[in-house]
Amino acid sequence: MARRRIKRLEKLKLSALLTFFRCHRGPSDDHSRIGTVGFSRVVYVNEPERLKEEGFSYPLNEVSTTKYNLGTFLPKSLFEQFRRVANFYFLVSGILALTPLAPYTAVSALAPLCVVIVATMAKEGVEDWRRKQQDHELNNRIVKVHRGNGNFEETKWKNIKVGDVIKVEKDNFFPADMILLSSNYPDGICYVETMNLDGETNLKIKQALEVTLDLKEDIKFREVRQTIKCEDPNANLYSFVGSMEWKGQQYPLSPHQLLLRDSKLRNTDYIYGAVIFTGHDTKVMQNATDPPSKRSTIEKKMDKIIYILMSSLLMIALLGSVFFGIWTKEDIRDGKLKRWYLRPDASTIFYDPKRAALASFFHLLTALMLYSYFIPISLYISIEMVKLLQALFINQDIEMYHEESDKPTHARTSNLNEELGMVDTILSDETGTLTCNMMEFIKCSIAGTAYGQGVTEVERAMAVRKGFRLDDDIENGGHKDNKIDDSPHVNGFNFKDPRIMDGNWIHEPNRDMIRDFFRLLAICHTCIAEKDENGKISYEAESPDEAAFVIAARELGFEFYKRSLTTIIIREWDPSQNVVEKRKYELLNILEFSSSRKRMSVIVKEPEGRILLLSKGADSVMFKRLARNGRKFEEDTRRHINEYSDSGLRTLVLAYRVLDDKEYKEFNEKLNAAKTSVSADRDEKIEQAADSIETDLILLGATAVEDKLQKGVPECIDKLAQAGIKIWVLTGDKMETAINIGFACSLLRQGMTQIIITLEQPDIIALEKNGDKLTIAKASKQRVMDQIEVGIKQIPPSTHVSTESFALIIDGKSLTYALEDDVKLKFLDLAIKCASVICCRSSPKQKALVTRLVKQVTHKVTLAIGDGANDVGMLQEADIGVGISGAEGMQAVMASDVAVAQFRFLERLLLVHGHWCYRRISVMICYFFYKNVTFGVTIFLYEAFASFSGKPAYNDWFLSLYNVFFTSLPVIALGVFDQDVSARLCIQVI
C-alpha cells in the first residue's frame, strides 16, 4: 500500500501543482549565455577525473582563512611590523649601530627591537594558528561521496572534487556548492537553512529537476553520467544560470536547484547533489571579505605624538650637531688644543677640526641613535598586551553573561577597547536588538469585535506616563477575567479571553467568521510541522510572526498538523461534540509574501469542494482589495488596528474569497503562462497574475502580535542618556509602532517635543497617484527640506538655556531625500540637536548611510548595534560594531567588533569597561611618553655638559633594559588592573 502511494506521488508533476515554487526567480533564467565569457564552467558529474584529462583545473575543496602560511609568515609579518614608524626608526637605528658611528654596542641597540618584534610576531602567529585550527576542523569534516559502483564512502571535505556526487543527511552542512539531484521526498524537494549565509533563520525550499527524481538510492548512481555547464564562480548568493545535459537532452538549472556551502539540510532525511563549485570558488567564500580595518582614536593620536617626538629628536640632534661642528672647528686655534682630551691633533674623521662640517654630519647620525630613547620602543607591544588582557577580562565578566542562552560577551577585537569609553552616539536596530524578536499572539479583531485581554509593555509605559497604574487584568468589552491562570506559558501565545478560549467561541454571534479566521491562520503560511518522539507538534517558520499565528490557531483548537506538496492537514476541535476532526485541504497555489506585495495568499480546495483564496497582509494593501460586500466590519477593524499600533503591536489583516472553478482555471493558466515566459517582463506578468486574483476579498479581521522588549532595555537606555550618549534607532517598523516602542524603552519621554518628518501627507499622496516620478521626487524633496527647516527653527540656539528636549522621527521615504548630498548636512544639524532620533522604515543601505554620515561629519565615536544580516553595513560603518547573538543568525556577530547577548549589557560594557579601558590606556600612554622624554632629556643635558661629544651617560645594557623591562612591566599592570572607581560607582555616578 505504501509502495503504491509512493509510486502515485512520483507521478505528480510539480509544475502542475505549483506548490512551493517561488513566484520571483529573477533574471537568472537567461540560459542563452551558457558557454560565453563568464558562463564557461563545465562539470562532468560522477567523473571528476575526466576534468583533469580534458585540461580543466578547479581548486580542491580545502579552504584557508589564515593571514599567513609557512612560506609567507616571516616576510608578511615583518612587513606589518615595520609599517609602524617607530619600529622602522629603530630598525634604521639598529643598522647604524653596526657602524663606528654608534654610541652603543650593536647588540644592545638591536636586542630591544628584536624582543619587541618577536613578541608581536608571536602574538600574530598564535592568532593565525587559531584560525588555522578552525580551518582544519572545517576541512576535516566527514561527508559521504560516491566512489563507484553505487558505493558512498566517508570522505573529508577537503578531498571533495568538482563533479563528485555527495549524499548529505539531515542536520548536516553542505560541504560545497552543489546541484540538487534528488531527496527522500517523492518530488525532490528539500528544506535548507541559510543562517550562516544571510543571517535568516527561515527555511528555504529547493527543488530537484523532474528528470533526476528517481535517483533515490545509492545503487542508482552507478551509471549516472551528466554534464553541467554553468556560470563561473561569483559572489551573488541569489542568482544562478546553468544547464544540465543528460541522456542527450538539455535541462535549464536555476537557483532552485543550487545548494550553497555552509547551508544546513533541515526537515529532510537526505539529499544527493553534484558538486559544481569547491573551496574558494564557492559563493560563501567569494563573499568572504576582510572586515574593514578599524583603528582607535587614541592610537591615531599616539602616532601623531610619535611624529612630534621624532621631530623633536631630530631638532635636538641637529642643534647638538651644529654646536659640535662649531666647537670642533675651534678645537685647534693658534696651535692650542682647546679640547685636549679629545686629541684633535690626532683625531679621526669624526673629530677632525679640518673637516668640521663632515664631522658635524656624522655626529648628527650618532645623535639620532643616542637620543632614540625619546621614542618608547616597547609602547606598541605593551599596549597590545594590555588590550589583549583587557579583552580577556571583558570576556570573563560574569555580569555580562546571559545564562538563558549560555552566551557571554565576546570582544572579537581588542583594538577598540578604549573607544568604548569615548562613545558619543549609539545607532541601534530595533527588532531583535531592543526587542526579543519573539512574537506572541496577544490580541485580535474578528468581525468587528476586539478579543484579547493581555496588557502590553507599551500600554504599561503609556499608563505610567499618564500617571496611573495598569493591572494585568483589564476590562475588555464588559468582560474581566479574574481567574488565576495556572496553565504553563506557551511560547508565541499570550492570548487571554474567555469568550473564545476553551471552545467558547462557538457561543459568539459571529462564530462562523471566528472559525474561518483561525482556519486561515492554520492554513495560510509556509510553516513546516515537526513531530517529536512524544508526538508533540512543533513548527519551523519563515518568521516569528508566522510561528505565532500557527501556534495561536493550535491553542484555540485549529492545529496545523501536516503538510505535503499537495495537501495541508488541520486537526480541528469541534467544541459542540468534543471531537477532533481531521480536515484535509488540497493545496493548489502559494502566492508568497514579498516586500513589494506586502501580503501572502494560498489557494486551497476544501474537503467540501469549495476553492478558497486565503490572504493576509498589511492594512495599507489589504483594505484596498476588499469587495464592496466584504467591508461590513472595516470601520471597527480599522479602529482596532490603530489601537493595536498605539499599543506597540504588529498587525496584519485577514481576508478571503470563494473562487469558482472557471475563475480559478483562468487564473492558473495565466500564472502558468507567466512563469514559463522567457520575456524580460516575466516578473511583472507573475505579479499581475497574482494581483488579478487577490481582489474582491471578504474581511475577517486583524491579528496583533507583540514583540516584547528585552529585559533591562529601558533602564539601560536611561543610564546611557544620563551619561550624555545620544541614541538613534534605525528600524524597519512603521512610525506609530516605532514611536510607541520608543516610549516603552525610555527613548522617548513624557514632555519631549517630537519633530516628525514624513511624506505621508495628502498632497504628496495625491501627487504619487497622478504625477510622474520626476515631479514626485522634486515635491517630496522640497517638502522634506521645509520640514527640516521648521524643525531647526523649533530648537532654541545653544546660547539660550533651555530645559526642553527634542526627539526627531523620520520615515524611510523622507530619509531617502534627507540623505542626498545637498540636504544631509541640514538633516544632521537637526538630528544632533535632538536627544533622540528614530528613523522608521529604514532599509539596510539607509542604516549604513546614516551611520557613515554621523561618523564622518561629527568626527565623534559612533557605536552601531544590531542582530541581523540587514545590520551588517551599519556595524561595519561605525567606529565600533556590536552584534547581538540572538535569533537572527550569526551574520551580525561575525561582522562585529564586540558580541553581546542582550542590549542591556551595553550599559556595563560602555560605562564600566569603556571607562576603565579608556582611562588605563590614556594614563599608560602618558606615562610612557613622560618617562621616555624625561630620560631622554637627561641624556641631552649630559651631552651639553660634555660638549656634544656623542658619548652616552649610561651603560648601554642598562638603557635597553630600562626601556623594555624596567619601566614596562609596572605600567602594563597599571593598564590591566587599575581602577579609579569601582564598577558600582561607574554606573551610579555618571
Reduced to 3 DSSP states, what percent helix, strand and coil does the chain have, rounded to the nearest 5? 45, 20, 35
| CB 565 within 8 Å of CB 576 | no
- CB under 8 Å to 948, separation ≥6 — which residues? 320, 321, 323, 324, 327, 363, 367
The residues facing 207 across adjacent strands are 189
Count CA atoms closer than 13 A to 346's CA, side-chain side.
Answer: 3
Q: How far apart are the first and last CA of the chain?
A: 75
| CB 590 within 8 Å of CB 20 | yes
Residue with cell 573551496: 279
| Tally of residues, the chain | 990
Residue with cell 508566522: 546
What string of H, E and C letters represents the secondary structure of 381-406? Answer: HHHHHHHHHHHHHHHCCHHHCECCCC
Q: Is residue 206 classed as helix, strand or coil in its secondary structure? A: strand
What's the Cα-to-Cα distance from 772 to each of 348, 767, 768, 776, 813, rounded to whole Å? Answer: 88, 8, 8, 6, 16
The annotated binding site is made up of 429, 431, 546, 593, 616, 650, 731-733, 841, 847, 867, 870-871
**Nearest CA to 147 among 221, 226, 228, 199?**
221
**Joined grid coordinates for residue 81:** 611590523
Residue with cell 556548492: 177
The residues facing 583 across adjacent strands are 570
Instruction: Confirm whether 128 is a catalytic residue.
Output: no
The annotated binding site for ATP is made up of 429, 431, 546, 593, 616, 650, 731-733, 841, 847, 870-871
Count CA atoms closer than 13 A to 25's CA, side-chain side.
Answer: 27
Q: For strands 203-207 and 189-193, give the pairing.
A: antiparallel
35: left (phi over 0), alpha (psi -120 to 50) or beta: left
The annotated binding site for Mg(2+) is made up of 429, 431, 867, 871
Distance CA 236, CA 969 (A): 50
What string of H, E and C letters represents the secondary structure of 883-949? Answer: EECCCCCCHHHHCCCEEECCCCHHHHHHHHHHHHHHHHHHHHHHHHHHHHHHHHHHHHHHHHHCCCC
Read off φ and ψ for residue 230, nearest 5 degrees: -155, 180
**Nearest CA to 210 among 452, 461, 15?**
15
E strand or H helix at 601:
strand 599-605
**What's the angle, vertex CA 956, arms to CA 950 and CA 960, rounded to 5?**
125
Calculated CA dihedral for residues 331, 333, 336, 338, nearest 10 degrees: -30
Sequential DSSP letters for 123-192: HHHHHHHHHHHHHHHHHT-EEEEE-STT-EEEEEGGG--TT-EEEEETT-B-SSEEEEEEESSTT-EEEE
Instruction: Please state, as a whole number, how many other Cβ atoms lie within 10 Å of the Cβ of residue 9.
Output: 14
| CB 821 within 8 Å of CB 847 | no
Q: Is residue 374 classed as helix, strand or coil in its secondary structure? A: helix
Distance CA 895, CA 875 (A): 7
From 429, 619, 811, 879, the catalytic residue: 429
Residues annotated as part of the active site: 429
